Structure 1
Amino acid sequence: MVNDSAVPPSPSAPPPSSVPPLDDPGPPGSLWTRMKADPQYAPEHLALEAVRRLGPEARHWAEQSRLDQPGVTPEDLAQQAMRRFTHYARLSGAVSGATGLPGAVVDVGVLAWTQSRMVLHIAAAYGIDPADPERATDLLVLQKVHKFAQTARLALGVAAGRERASRLFADTTSRPISGVMVKLSVKLAQMAGVRAAKRMAAKVIPGAAVILGSWVNSAATKDLATRTRSLYATA
């Protein structure tokens, strides 16, 4: 999956940024639209968009961090990314936990996006190009959507083809919105490493939604960070 060496600087890229702002917590509206139209391939659509949109951000964060912290090690940067994005994941669980069951789909989508952001930042910390299309394959394997890289690449190819087709042909299929949202929530929960039953329970148990939402998100994100560091530290 990993075949990159050091990340070359990109003079045409936007100014570097450090930590993503909390006012930009989740998937853009255009991605939500694609995922709702094609919920079966929601994780693949999210992975493709994350690499396109968040990969350059992660690359510049790593470059700027090395300039701001002379002598910082890849392990130090990976730790920084893990702590910050685990905090964001915990916060998103606490905030959306108060919105009840309708917030479940939004929460797992925001969580999967935050986790993808973390993976790309950890990749950049270890000198792996986070904007390389192969990172989408890494995301799907690390997040256990697919067991093998080859099947992940195949699914990404299908999702990319469906994305292109959707620009040419309007979707005239009438599907009940409730069924779409259920499928979407299950696929995104799978990507985020959260069992659907736990996620729903965290939304409906009176008085416990905020605590459970925060704990579930944090635990899943820490597990993903451990797998990600193991992969990229030895690349």
Structure 2
Amino acid sequence: MTDTDLREDGPPAGLWERMRADPEYAPEHLALEAVTRLGPRMAAELVKLQGQNPGAPPDALADMIIYRYVNQSRLSGAVSGAVPLAGAVLDVGVLAWTQARMVLMLAANYGADPAHPDRAVELLVLQGIHKYTQTARTALAVARGRERVDALLPAERPEVRKVVLRLTLKLAQMAGVRAVKKMAAKVIPGAAIILGGVTNGNATRDLGARAITMYRLRLSGSALPRG
């Protein structure tokens, strides 16, 4: 998989534009787009996986799903670790998108509709962007109504550098990695390739474990905190 492949398999161009225009709500924009665009695809992916492993219980399939996306996340980190510092934005964006695919497929695996709007709420709670479902719902509603930067007056436009930094930090928070550490690692030749893959893989595995726990609880009748 090349860096070009990762770009094509990551957030679509329109989503990148919305996130750059509104970096403060980048996680919300990504969650909304992921559920709409990826939800149906992840349901189909689950059916395919089930067909390849007839009779496998949900927990066994969940392990396979996590294994798949941890490997994809590691490759994303290794490839983007070899590109210039600006690649940190691409890295965390692709990582967050890859993780969304995993969570939505895990949701489908435990009986939840991956295309339902509630999955966007759950993504944000699982990724630690919001602690409660109600605050996540409110933030998603705000994100839907935010103005685009190109609709603002020129004098109100923030500096591009600040926008990129804010976007990187918000996406890194969503993906469960420390943006400053990742970006600093990119100035160390060679080490960034290793650190990027390990960091991404560990963050994805941890998120997968949280998602499995949450969707198992949903099956037993428990719910996310609503405060």
Structure 2-normalised TM-score?
A: 0.88
Task: Give 1:22 shift.
Answer: 6.0
- Name 2:10's counterpart in structure 1: 26
- Name 2:60's counterpart in structure 1: 76
Task: Give 1:177 shift.
Answer: 0.7
Say whether 1:185 aligns with 2:185.
no
In the TM superposition, structure 1's runs of 4+ consecutive aligned residues that sit over 6 Å from their partners are none
Say whether 1:224 aligns with 2:202.
no
Task: Give 1:57 shift.
Answer: 0.5
Provide the rounded CA distance (Å) in 2 between the counterparts of 1:207 and 1:135: 37
- Name 1:233's counterpart in structure 2: 216
Local SS of the residue matching 2:10? coil
Structure 1 residues 91 and 33: CA distance shift in structure 2, 3 A: same
Provide the rounded CA distance (Å) in 2 between the counterparts of 1:55 and 1:202: 34
Which piece of structure 1 moves more, 209-218 or 195-204? Answer: 195-204
Which piece of structure 1 moves more, 194-203 or 174-183? Answer: 194-203
Say whether 1:105 aligns with 2:89.
yes
Partner AA of 1:133 in structure 2 = P
Output aligned runs, 1:138-177, within 5 Å: 138-162=122-146, 165-166=147-148, 170-172=151-153, 173-177=156-160
Structure 1-normalised TM-score?
A: 0.85
- Name 1:203's counterpart in structure 2: 186
Provide the rounded CA distance (Å) in 2 between the counterparts of 1:108 and 1:187: 9
Partner AA of 1:177 in structure 2 = V
Q: Which runs of 5+ in 2 are unaligned?
A: 219-227
Which piece of structure 1 moves more, 196-205 or 117-126? Answer: 196-205
Structure 1 residues 23 and 179: CA distance shift in structure 2, 3 A: closer
Provide the rounded CA distance (Å) in 1 between the counterparts of 2:117 and 2:176: 22
| Aligned residues: CA RMSD | 1.7
Give percent identity, aligned residues only: 56
Which piece of structure 1 moves more, 218-227 or 56-65? Answer: 56-65
Task: Give 1:112 shift.
Answer: 0.5
Local SS of the residue matching 1:204? coil
Local SS of the residue matching 2:90? helix
Task: Give 1:170 shift.
Answer: 2.5
Output aligned runs, 1:4-19, within 5 Å: none
- Name 1:212's counterpart in structure 2: 195
- Name 2:100's counterpart in structure 1: 116
Write 1 or 2 for the structure with the bigger share of helix. 2
For the 8 Å contact 2:46–2:108, the answer to whether it is kept is yes
Say whether 1:35 aligns with 2:13.
no
Provide the rounded CA distance (Å) in 1 between the counterparts of 2:87 and 2:50: 38
Task: Give 1:108 shift.
Answer: 0.5
Q: Which runs of 5+ in 1 are unaligned?
A: 1-20
